[in-house]
């Protein structure tokens, strides 16, 4: 029954994304990692995206995430390389392009928050693709920005460690210390969330405190 309902909802999106959005069609049965994203992480991101001029980029669009743009008052942008996923992207600010070519679509220092949920290991699977991804992310994210990354560390998805990606080190992990989020990394089975900011920011903050 649930499968049939989901099929009908997917069909509605394909026929009329606008109608599906107007009716607020959502897909229930959320995994623990998605609940963590939608509840704990988004609450923290509210504190970063605290004015309407803030910019948020969500990489990879899907039926389970189309409504995220309604959740935030910030300017919301989406990108997915698969044209068939555009129906789940933002009506005005969706781009069909690869996350490995972010500077083709976005400006330097444009984003306060970037969320890449389930893109590494779900299309961005090679180390050279990750190099391009992180280089682009570093360019388009503000120096004060927050990057939330989630990926599968199962060898069937990626056969290397993120630490082996040189450009991953343009970022550093940090713990938000907000509402119980006191770790920089959370794992749900092989699904890992990491909070990242520009590398070196931690040190410059310590230097500021000591001045
Ligand atoms: C597992 S889904 C996650 C979707 C969404 N981020 C979410 O949280 O629901 C992975 C998505 O990443 C997209 N994707 C894969 N490789 C990509 C790339 N190089 N650039 C942009 N999107 C990509 C796929 O088309 C797919 O829609």
pLDDT in tens, 45-75: 999 998 889 999 999 998 888 889 888 989 9
By the 10 Å C-beta count (0-12 exposed, 13-18 middle, 19+ buried), 65 is classed as: buried
18 and 40 housed in the same domain: no
Give the integer Cα–Cα distance in Å for 169 and 153.
18
What CATH number is associated with residue 158?
3.40.50.150
Whole-number pLDDT of residue 71: 87
Give the integer Cα–Cα distance in Å for 109 and 81.
22
Instruction: Retrieve residue 101's tokens.
Output: 């070519």
Binned at pLDDT 50, 70 and 90, residue 119 comes out as: very high
Binned at pLDDT 50, 70 and 90, residue 125 comes out as: very high
- Asked if the model's pLDDT at residue 206 lies above 90, the reply is no
Whole-number pLDDT of residue 60: 97
Give the integer Cα–Cα distance in Å for 121 and 82.
15
Give the residue-averaged pLDDT of 82-90.
Answer: 92
Closest ligand 1 atom, CA of 65?
A: 9
141 and 99 housed in the same domain: yes
Ligand 1 pocket, 122 CB below 6 A? Answer: yes
Nearest residue (CA) to ligand 1, atom 2 = 118
pTM of model > 0.75: yes
Provide the number of structural domains found in the chain.
Answer: 2
Whole-number pLDDT of residue 94: 96
Pick from 107, 104, 108, 160: nearest CA to 130: 160
Mean pLDDT of the chain: 90
Nearest residue (CA) to ligand 1, atom 12 = 60
Give the residue-averaged pLDDT of 181-207.
Answer: 87
Instruction: Retrieve residue 65's tokens.
Output: 């995430």
8 and 99 housed in the same domain: no
Whole-number pLDDT of residue 15: 73
56 and 24 housed in the same domain: no
Pick from 105, 164, 147, 151: nearest CA to 124: 151
Phi/psi for 99 (5° steps) reads: -65, -10
Whole-number pLDDT of residue 210: 55
DSSP label at residue 3: H
Structural domain harbouring 73: 31-210
23 and 67 housed in the same domain: no
């Amino acid at each position: 029954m649930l499968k049939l309902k989901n099929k009908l909802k997917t069909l509605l999106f394909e026929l009329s994304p606008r109608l599906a959005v107007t009716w607020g069609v959502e897909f229930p049965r959320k995994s623990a990692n998605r609940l963590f994203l939608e509840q704990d992480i988004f609450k923290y991101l509210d504190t970063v995206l605290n004015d309407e001029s803030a910019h948020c980029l969500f990489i990879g669009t899907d039926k389970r995430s189309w409504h995220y743009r309604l959740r935030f008052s910030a300017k919301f942008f989406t990108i997915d390389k698969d044209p068939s996923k555009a129906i789940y992207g933002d009506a005005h600010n969706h781009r069909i392009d690869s996350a490995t070519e972010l500077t083709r679509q976005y400006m330097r220092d444009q984003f306060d928050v970037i969320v890449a949920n389930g893109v590494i290991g779900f299309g961005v699977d090679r180390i050279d693709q990750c190099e391009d991804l992180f280089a682009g992310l570093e360019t388009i994210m503000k120096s004060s920005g927050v990057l939330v990354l989630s990926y599968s560390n199962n060898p069937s998805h990626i056969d290397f460690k993120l630490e082996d990606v040189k450009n991953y080190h343009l970022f550093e992990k940090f713990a938000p210390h907000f509402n119980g989020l006191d770790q920089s990394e959370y794992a749900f089975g092989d699904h890992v969330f990491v909070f990242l900011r520009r590398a070196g920011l931690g040190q410059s903050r310590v230097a500021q405190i000591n001045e």
